[in-house]
Structure 1
């Protein structure tokens, strides 16, 4: 399905300020006739009705240079939103993106390298539409609690990659550290979030035992496996046989595959299998 451009109220640097801009929508505009619900009484292994509605993604794009043994082996468009768009676009799932982006470094070579430049947090998004699914993804610290709260009002089912919340960059030297979720003002939003995605390294900072009581928590473990935690239930999702070479974007691709599976009506464990396949 051909990509389309339609106007959406774009993220700006000022909270609650609305500005109309062009954001690419892959697969066209969604129709909002049915809603996906995972109620308190509904288990994640139950089959869901197929959907054909729009997905809202707030996340980053970046120009990336891959270097191996001091040799540049690839230059490409990377970033969380980029990886997810590849999955959703490949499956013709309509989606809309809001992202802060800079000038293209090839179109504006005078800018030079921007290594070490930190992206400021995303402000709350304004939109005239409602979305069936929302994804908050990022490298670290871009998603404000106000932004996430606004997305929760716009989207029926909300997915959050924990990296966008708990990773913090030092503004002086660029070093990275993780902060516990309870310490940064997001834990109270967990009952409104349906799916929280974390790596095995990030899981201790989430407190999975407590978080799983409030939402479905997915913990990925690189090339090995994925575990779905929901209340008292736990599902081990076996991996596809693969040798990990470069894990860049694997978690984002997994999340994109998970969403794609749920859009098609798969139960959560089955959608997680699709997520495992997409992160290969």
Structure 2
């Protein structure tokens, strides 16, 4: 027989969990016209990897095809009739004469979108909408808002579109998407400095907290009545893929574990810096991380 206290404890544990929504991918990193690496990709994989490193419990909803080639901690939904989403990342500094262009990203294969009916029929304290290949629909984000106390959204899940010929990733203005009316109902919107120009930060910050990452310059947190810059960590960049996702994982993990927003953003910066120093999905030394957390916070 389950006692009232046990039931309350179980309910509390369930509500403290994080729901991550976004598809796993196959990432192909191409540099100087040669394949440098093939790895597990997708924001969901980088974020859950950070959560595992910090022992943060979560549920993950992701879709893949039968060709999915990786062993993961959180089992995805397999769609037998489709292939796993694939991205080709062309990483060449100065490509096309743009000194700030780290990569050209192309979606060469897309799995099924994640629909509201794919989400668990339970409540979560935190939800993260972190699609990379157009797999999160406006109605899916709306359902997340209904079942989660606070929703964090990555703008890449909201504003990415894909060239119909070669799948090159392009960005559209946030106000032109079906997600725009949902902004007053989400808690945090995260964007890179390149993505932030596709929204009116001054307007969006009136509705929700906005976090803008800026690589080696750290990040900035905006809210209705103020803003705060968070210092970066030095890193030798080898692969920028997933850096923003690792930041977002560290940021939310920090909040889940009770850190204040500035401290959570600092933790996010740490994971972003650790991520760029490794090709593909980074590996973290859990003992060093725990020691750093104890000494810092």
Q: TM-score by structure 1 length?
A: 0.76
CA distance in 2, matches of 1:228, 1:69: 36
- SS of match in other structure, 2:65: coil
Once the two structures are superposed, residues 160-216 of structure 1 have per-residue CA deviations (whole angstroms, 9 ceiling, x without a partner) of 000011010123331322111111122221111000000111111121000000000
1:166 equivalent to 2:159? Answer yes
Larger RCO, structures 1/2 (Cα 8 Å, 6+ apart): 1
Stretches of structure 1 that go unaligned for 5 or more consecutive residues are 1-29, 36-51
Q: Do the aligned residues in 1 keep the contact of 2:254 with 2:267 (CA within 8 Å)?
A: yes
Q: TM-score by structure 2 length?
A: 0.72
- SS of match in other structure, 1:64: strand
CA distance in 2, matches of 1:106, 1:226: 34
CA distance in 2, matches of 1:96, 1:128: 12
Cα displacement (A) at 1:126: 3.8
CA distance in 1, matches of 2:86, 2:19: 28
The CA RMSD over aligned residues, in Å, is 2.5
CA distance in 2, matches of 1:112, 1:214: 35
1:33 equivalent to 2:25? Answer no
Number of aligned residue pairs: 233
Look up the match of 2:195.
202
Q: Using a 3 Å threshold, how does the CA distance of structure 1 residues 273 and 171 change in structure 2: closer, same or farther?
A: same
Q: Do the aligned residues in 1 keep the contact of 2:26 with 2:85 (CA within 8 Å)?
A: no
- SS of match in other structure, 1:173: coil
Alignment of 1:16-95 (within 5 A): 31-33=10-12, 53-95=16-58
1:122 equivalent to 2:114? Answer yes
CA distance in 2, matches of 1:254, 1:112: 24
Q: Judge which range, 59-68 or 135-144, deviates more.
A: 59-68
Look up the match of 2:59.
96
Alignment of 1:104-183 (within 5 A): 104=67, 116-124=108-116, 125-183=118-176
Q: Do the aligned residues in 2 keep the contact of 1:61 with 1:81 (CA within 8 Å)?
A: yes
Stretches of structure 2 that go unaligned for 5 or more consecutive residues are 1-8, 71-79, 88-107, 274-297
